[in-house]
Amino acid sequence: MARNREILVLVLDVGPSMHSILPEVEKVCSMLVEKKLIYNKYDEVGIVLFGTEDTKNELTEEVGGYQHVVVLQNMKVVDGDLVDVLKRIPRGTVSGDFLDAIIVGMDMLIKKFGETEKGKKRLCLVTDALFSIKEPYEGTKEDQVTTIAQQMTKHGMRMDSVVVRGRFSQNADEKTMDENDILLNIFSEKTNAKMVYVESPTSLLGAIRTRSIAPVTIFRGDLEISSIIKIKVWVYKKTSEEKFPTLKRYSDKAPPTDKFATHEIKVDYEYKSVEEPNKVVPPEHRIKGYRYGPQVVPISTAEWDAVKFKPEKSVKLLGFTNVSNIMRHYYMKDVNVFIAEPSNKRAIVAVSALARAMKEMDKVAIVRCVWRQGQGSVVVGVLTPNISKKDGIADSLYFNVLPFAEDVREFQFPSFSNLPALMQPSEEQQQAADDLVKTLDLAPAGREEILQPDFTPNPVLERFYRHLELKSKDPDAAVPPLDGTLQKITEPDPDLFSQNKYVIDTFHRKFELKENPKLKKPRRHYLREKASGSSDKEDNDEISAQIVESVSNMPIAKVEKIGDSTPLEDFEAMMSRRDSPEWISKAISGMRNKIFDLVENSSDGDNCLKAIEYLRALRKGCIIEQEPKQFNDFLRHLRKFCPENNLHSFCEFLASQQISLISKEEAADSEVADDEARSFWVKMEPKSEPKLEQV
Partner 1 sequence: MDLDPDEVFRDDDEDPDNPLFQERESTKELAVYLVDASPKMFNTTCPSEDQKQETHFQVALSCILQSLKTQIINRSYDEVAICFFNTREKKNLQDLNGVFVLNVTEREDLDRPTARLLKTIDGIEEVFMKEIGSQYGIVSGSRENSLYNALWAAQALLRKGSAKTLDKRILLFTNEDDPFGSIKGASKFDLIRTTLQRAKDAQDLGISIELLPLSSPNEQFNLSLFYADLIGLEGGDLTQFLPSAGDRLQDMKDQLKKRMFKKRIVRRLKLSITNKLSIDVNSYALIRPTLPGAITWLDSISNRPLKTERSFICADTGALFLEPSKRFQHYKNQVIKFSGEELSEIKGVSAGHLRLLGFKPLSCLKDYHNLRPSTFLYPSDEEMGGSTCIFIALHRSMVKLNRFAVAFLGSPSRPQLVALVAQDEIITAGGQVEPPGMNMLYLPYADDIRHVEELHPDPDIAPRATDDQVKKAAALMKRIDLKDFSVCQFANPALQRHYAVLQALALEEDEMPEVNDETVPDEEGMSRPGVVKTLEEFKLSVYGENYEEEEAGKGKVSEASKKRKAISETASQKCKEYDWADLADNGKLKELSVVELKYYLTAHDLPVSGKKEALISRILSHMGK
With both helix axes pointing from N to C terminus, report the angle between 648-656 and 605-624 in degrees, rounded to the nearest 10.
50
Residue 493 as a binder of partner 1 (CB under 8 A): the answer is yes
Displacement of CA 393 from its chain's centroid (Å): 31
SS (H, E, C) 326-378: CCHHHCCCCCEEEEECCCCHHHHHHHHHHHHHHHHHCEEEEEEEECCCCCCCC
Residue 608 as a binder of partner 1 (CB under 8 A): the answer is yes
Residue 449 as a binder of partner 1 (CB under 8 A): the answer is yes
Of 165 and 238, nearer to partner 1 (C-beta) is 238
CA distance 587 to 591: 6
Residue 259 as a binder of partner 1 (CB under 8 A): the answer is no
Least Cβ distance, residue 669 to partner 1 (angstroms): 29
Q: CB atoms < 10 A from the CB of 41, how many? A: 13
Amino acid identity for residue 247 in this structure: L
Residue 485 as a binder of partner 1 (CB under 8 A): the answer is no
* 3, 88, 243, 683: residue in contact with partner 1 (rule CB under 8 A): 243
Residue 201 as a binder of partner 1 (CB under 8 A): the answer is no
DSSP 40: -
Residue 368 as a binder of partner 1 (CB under 8 A): the answer is yes
Of 81 and 582, nearer to partner 1 (C-beta) is 81
Least Cβ distance, residue 132 to partner 1 (angstroms): 29
Pairing verdict, β 193-198 and 295-299: unpaired
Residue among 31, 448, 22 nearest 242 (CA): 31
Residue 474 as a binder of partner 1 (CB under 8 A): the answer is no
Of 164 and 177, nearer to partner 1 (C-beta) is 164
- Per the document, the length of the chain is 695
Residue among 14, 22, 47, 20 nearest 131 (CA): 14
Least Cβ distance, residue 57 to partner 1 (angstroms): 28
Least Cβ distance, residue 14 to partner 1 (angstroms): 24
Amino acid identity for residue 230 in this structure: K
CA distance 22 to 18: 6
Q: How many angstroms separate the first and last alpha carbons of the chain?
A: 78
Residue 225 as a binder of partner 1 (CB under 8 A): the answer is yes
**CB contact at 8 A, 120 and 158:** no
Q: How far is CA 626 from CA 601, 616, 622, in A?
A: 30, 15, 6
Residue among 627, 505, 644, 625 nearest 575 (CA): 625
Residue 1 as a binder of partner 1 (CB under 8 A): the answer is no
Of 232 and 629, nearer to partner 1 (C-beta) is 232
Residue range at the interface with partner 1 (CB under 8 A); choices 9-17, 57-65, 224-232, 565-573:
224-232
* 372, 411, 552, 564: residue in contact with partner 1 (rule CB under 8 A): 411
| Interaction pattern, residues 522-541, with partner 1; x per rule: CB under 8 A | -x-xx--xxxxxxxxx--xx
| Interaction pattern, residues 25-44, with partner 1; x per rule: CB under 8 A | ------------xx------
Amino acid identity for residue 311 in this structure: P
Residue 197 as a binder of partner 1 (CB under 8 A): the answer is no
Residue range at the interface with partner 1 (CB under 8 A); choices 13-21, 475-483, 575-583, 623-631:
475-483
* 248, 636, 637, 691: residue in contact with partner 1 (rule CB under 8 A): 248
Q: Residue 294 burial by CB count (10 A; 0-12/13-18/19+): exposed, middle or buried?
A: exposed
**CB contact at 8 A, 147 and 34:** no
* 52, 161, 200, 386: residue in contact with partner 1 (rule CB under 8 A): 386
CA distance 148 to 187: 9
DSSP 420: -
Of 182 and 296, nearer to partner 1 (C-beta) is 296
| Interaction pattern, residues 78-117, with partner 1; x per rule: CB under 8 A | -xx-------------------------------------
Could you say which residues in the range 285-324 bind partner 1, by CB under 8 A? 285-300, 307-309, 311, 316-321
Amino acid identity for residue 637 in this structure: H
Pairing verdict, β 336-340 and 7-13: unpaired
Residue range at the interface with partner 1 (CB under 8 A); choices 65-73, 247-255, 554-562, 672-680:
247-255
Of 214 and 554, nearer to partner 1 (C-beta) is 214
Could you say which residues in the range 638-667 bind partner 1, by CB under 8 A? 652-653, 655-658
Amino acid identity for residue 639 in this structure: R
CA distance 58 to 70: 9
Q: CB atoms < 10 A from the CB of 272, how many? A: 12
Residue range at the interface with partner 1 (CB under 8 A); choices 4-12, 106-114, 163-171, 267-275:
267-275
Q: In which element (H, E) is residue 195 found? A: strand 193-198
Of 172 and 326, nearer to partner 1 (C-beta) is 326
Of 75 and 504, nearer to partner 1 (C-beta) is 504
Of 91 and 238, nearer to partner 1 (C-beta) is 238
